[in-house]
Structure 1
Amino acid sequence: MLHTCTFVRAARRIIALCCWLAVAHAGAEPAFVTVEGDLKSIAWWVLADFHPFTTEVRGIPAREIRKSWCKATEFRKDLIPRELLFEGGTDAMAAANMSFAIEGRFDGTATKQVALVGVFEECSGDRGRFILILDQLAEGKPKIRFVNALRTDHQFGALQKGEDNSIVAWACMECDNFSVLKWDRKKRKFDWQPDPAEQ
């Protein structure tokens, strides 16, 4: 009987220690967005460092998107501190007609797609920004139609609907650093459009 009580007490201590370690570890995880630098002179999206924490995007495992990825997190407004998004009390993204995800029939078919941006982390630890276009199917998980990934220390990205079902991808909010993605009927795939200034 004495051995049983000693065993039960030891088991309770081990369980309590495991719970404490789990809570301590969870508390040690970095926030999704960290910002270091002077926000009075440099925009938050330039200073922001994003820390992906999920292993899937819209039900698709990160490793199915790219085999080298261990984590991938879609940008969402609820993951970013309000004081950054609503600097000065105004939603700068909404004012610029930008979003982290946009819906449309970007390939001209009846199937609705969603284009979204986020941050990935490779199993090696390298991080970067990604753009996904997914078919939104009536049943099951979405189907990947396009993936673009860029290793970068500047992971911020936003999207905007462009002309003629195009998708405008921004690397900032107040600059001219953007690219246009469009369905190419001849190639039967999404492709980046050439910059008119370079032609």
Structure 2
Amino acid sequence: MLHRFTFVRAARWIFALCCWLVAAQAQAEPAFVTIEGDLKSIAWWVLADFHPFTTEVRGLPVREIRKNWCKATEFRKDLIPRELLFEGGTDAMAAANMSFAVEGRFDGTAPKQVALVGVFEECTGQKGRFILILDQSAEGKPKIRFVNAVRTDHQFGALQKGDDNSIVAWACMECDNFAVLKWDRKKRKFDWRPGPAEQ
């Protein structure tokens, strides 16, 4: 009886220690988004610093996307504090018809693709924003169709579906800093279109 009591007590102690270690590790990891600066005078997406924490994006190991990446995290609304996304009670992204991921048949073929944005961290510690287009597969992992990665201190990005099956990539929410990505039938690949100033 004494042996059983000692075992139960030891098991409880080990369980409590494990819970404490998990909680301590969770507190030690930084939030996905940190803000440094005055939100009253500068937009949150300008001040935001994103901290990738995953080693897969939609089931793809980050090293298969780019060999020099150690982490990459897709932007998702549930990872960003609600008070930033719903400033003043309004979903500014939805109001601007922007999203972190858009689906479509961007190359005109039957399989659907998903275009998404996120933040990556190279194994050297440098961070940036990425845009990824994947063929969606009912079975197995998705196939990479396009990757664009830019090292930058301002990693925010958002997407819109263009009128002509294009993908509009934004680096902000209330500005004219965007680029248009479209399937080029002659080159048989996704390519950037010239912007209005370049035409």
TM over 0.5: yes
Matched, 1:149 2:139: no
- Structure 2 unaligned segments of length 5 or more: list them: 1-8
- Output the CA distance in 1 between the equivalents of 2:91 and 2:165: 25
Matching residue of 2:23: 23
Matching residue of 1:195: 195
- Output the CA distance in 2 between the equivalents of 1:124 and 1:11: 41
- Output the CA distance in 2 between the equivalents of 1:195 and 1:28: 43
Q: CA deviation at 1:17?
A: 5.8
Matched, 1:32 2:32: yes
TM-score by length of 2: 0.90
- Output the CA distance in 1 between the equivalents of 2:190 and 2:114: 13
- Output the CA distance in 2 between the equivalents of 1:133 and 1:61: 15
Matching residue of 2:96: 96
Matching residue of 2:169: 169
Q: Secondary structure at the match of 1:196?
A: coil
- Output the CA distance in 1 between the equivalents of 2:91 and 2:15: 46
- Output the CA distance in 1 between the equivalents of 2:19 and 2:80: 28
CA shift in 2, pair 1:10/1:94, >3 Å: closer
Matched, 1:60 2:52: no
Q: CA deviation at 1:196?
A: 2.9
- Output the CA distance in 1 between the equivalents of 2:183 and 2:190: 4
- Output the CA distance in 1 between the equivalents of 2:174 and 2:51: 23
Matched, 1:113 2:136: no
- Output the CA distance in 2 between the equivalents of 1:24 and 1:137: 38
- Output the CA distance in 1 between the equivalents of 2:30 and 2:141: 29
Q: CA deviation at 1:198?
A: 1.8
Q: Residues 140-171 of structure 1: CA distance to partner in whole angstroms, max 9, x if unpaired?
A: 01100000000100000000011210000000
- Output the CA distance in 1 between the equivalents of 2:105 and 2:67: 28
2:77 counterpart letter in structure 1? K
Q: CA deviation at 1:42?
A: 0.3
- Output the CA distance in 2 between the equivalents of 1:47 and 1:25: 26
Q: Secondary structure at the match of 1:46?
A: helix
TM-score by length of 1: 0.90
1:85 counterpart letter in structure 2? L
> C-alpha root-mean-square deviation of aligned residues, in Å?
2.1
Q: CA deviation at 1:137?
A: 1.1
- Structure 1 unaligned segments of length 5 or more: list them: 1-8
Matching residue of 2:134: 134
Identity of aligned residues (%): 89
2:59 counterpart letter in structure 1? G
Number of aligned residue pairs: give it: 195
Q: Secondary structure at the match of 1:64?
A: helix
2:195 counterpart letter in structure 1? D
- Output the CA distance in 1 between the equivalents of 2:109 and 2:148: 21
- Output the CA distance in 1 between the equivalents of 2:190 and 2:134: 11
Q: Secondary structure at the match of 1:53?
A: coil
Matching residue of 1:3: none
Q: CA deviation at 1:23?
A: 3.2
Runs of 4+ in structure 1 deviating by more than 2 angstroms, as ranges, are 9-23
